[in-house]
Amino acid sequence: MTYEQVKSLKSEDFKRLCGVRPDTFNEMLEVVRSLHRTKQKTGRPGKLSLEDQLLMTLEYWREYRTYFHIGQS
8-52, pLDDT tens digit by residue?
Answer: 999 999 999 899 999 999 999 999 999 988 888 888 888 999 999
Write down the pLDDT at residue 68: 79
Return d(Cα 46, Cα 63) in angstroms, integer.
24
**In which element (H, E) is residue 27 found?**
helix 22-38
- CB count within 10 Å of CB 55 equals 24
Write down the pLDDT at residue 25: 95
Write down the pLDDT at residue 23: 95
Write down the pLDDT at residue 46: 83
Contact 18, 25 (CB under 8 A): yes
Return d(Cα 73, Cα 63) in angstroms, integer.
13
Write down the pLDDT at residue 69: 76
